[in-house]
Amino acid sequence: AATSVKQFKHWYPQYGGIFENIMKMNCTAEYDKYITGYKNHSEIDWRAGGGIYTALTQPVIDCLLENTSEFLKGSMTGAQILLGVMPTIIALLGPSHDEIAMLSNVGRRPLLAAGMALASPSAYFSRAFEYKSPAEILSKDEQRLTQWRPHRSMLLVSFLEYALVTAACYNVVINTLEVSRKTISSFSSDMDFMPNLWLVLGFCIHVFSGVVFRLRLRGWRVKEKKAKAIITTTEFVPCAAEGYSVRIRAFTETKTFLFLAWALSTFTILHVVFGTLVFASILFVGIKDALSIVGRYIAAVVICRVILMYELAGMRECW
């Protein structure tokens, strides 16, 4: 069977030169066989841990590791630990599904919410089969700091939000593509798209959460005055903008909603587990490179989290 042969061509900078030299000096035979793209199942080294989804890349990986120093292997192990906990870290730092769905369905800013969903692959999760009322996100507290509500500068605020979220999305997508291109995941080494799959699945779960959210609660923003506005859509108006109020209509829980909500919480946890498996099994990355990878994900998530908290605070003031 044929498969992708794009691996082993690009490396992260910390040890990239070392792996490239090993490939040229010691592993040319294995690499030449790899680039044919054809698997011979009769040649799979089952005793060495090989399998159907590692048959093509395993000989090259074994050759590289045999010619790698123990110090380098230790560094890669440390990087694997750091990368393995990364999905959980960004889940704890990032927004929840309900918060992003609230921005899309009640704040009526679906485009901004979609950008945040893409830049926040792992969402914050609670206990499985536990679901709280979405309206609690907008619960008021008299001790909270009064939210600034822009009027003349609302377009500037909106532009800055979109610019930052766009930069966060670009950063996450490029970072994920680089991980797929410059590393090999021993979890399923013949498949060079596992990090990409993790990113896409995270976005799909965010979309699914929006569907579940609408079964329980719907809302919208309206102008407090009947006069025509220059901007007729709320997509480009911050939720804290002066002159708008929030309306919410809640629905009674149904069996369908409860089932889908439980499924959502399970999918969210399984997605974090899948991300842990993919990133903890990544090979040929040093600790410095791993810090860069994790740092870029964290930066994107924190940016989206700050903007989302500002938007939710604005909705809370308008409700």
Contacts of 202 (CB under 8 A, 6+ apart): 117, 120, 121, 122, 123, 271, 275
Average pLDDT for 262-266: 90
Identify the three-state secondary structure at position 88: helix
Q: How far apart are CA 244 and CA 235, in angstroms?
A: 13
User: Residue 2 is which amino acid?
Assistant: A
Beta strands at 244-250 and 217-223: parallel, antiparallel or unpaired: antiparallel
Measured CA to CA, the distance from residue 85 to residue 124 in angstroms comes to: 14
Which of 301, 113, 276 lies closest to 207 in space, CA to CA? 113
Arithmetic mean of pLDDT, 102-126: 90
* CB-based contact 224:149 (threshold 8 Å): no
Cβ-contact 12, 285 below 8 angstroms: yes
pLDDT at residue 205 in the model: 95
CA distances from 220 to 94, 133, 206, 317 (A): 24, 17, 20, 14
Q: What's the pLDDT tens digit per position in 40-65?
A: 665 676 666 667 777 788 889 999 99
Whether residue 111 has pLDDT greater than 70: yes
Residue 84: partners with Cβ closer than 8 Å, 6 or more residues away: 276, 279, 280
Cα 261 to Cα 97, 133, 203, 220: the distances in Å are 11, 11, 17, 22
- Mean pLDDT along residues 277-303: 96
pLDDT in tens, 9-36: 999 999 999 999 999 999 999 888 888 8
Q: DSSP per residue over 13-74, as a string?
A: HHHHHHHHHHHHHH-HHHHHHHTT-B--GGG--GGGT--TTTTTTHHHHHHHHHTS-HHHHH
More confident site: 232 or 214: 214
pLDDT at residue 226 greater than cutoff 60: no
Please tell me the predicted confidence (pLDDT) of residue 2: 44
Give the integer Cα–Cα distance in Å for 163 and 116: 12
Q: How does pLDDT run across 74-109, given as a tens digit for each residue?
A: 999 999 999 999 999 999 998 988 899 999 888 888
Give the mean pLDDT of the chain.
85
Q: Show the DSSP H helices in 183-251 as ranges.
A: 194-214
What single-letter amino acid sits at 21? N
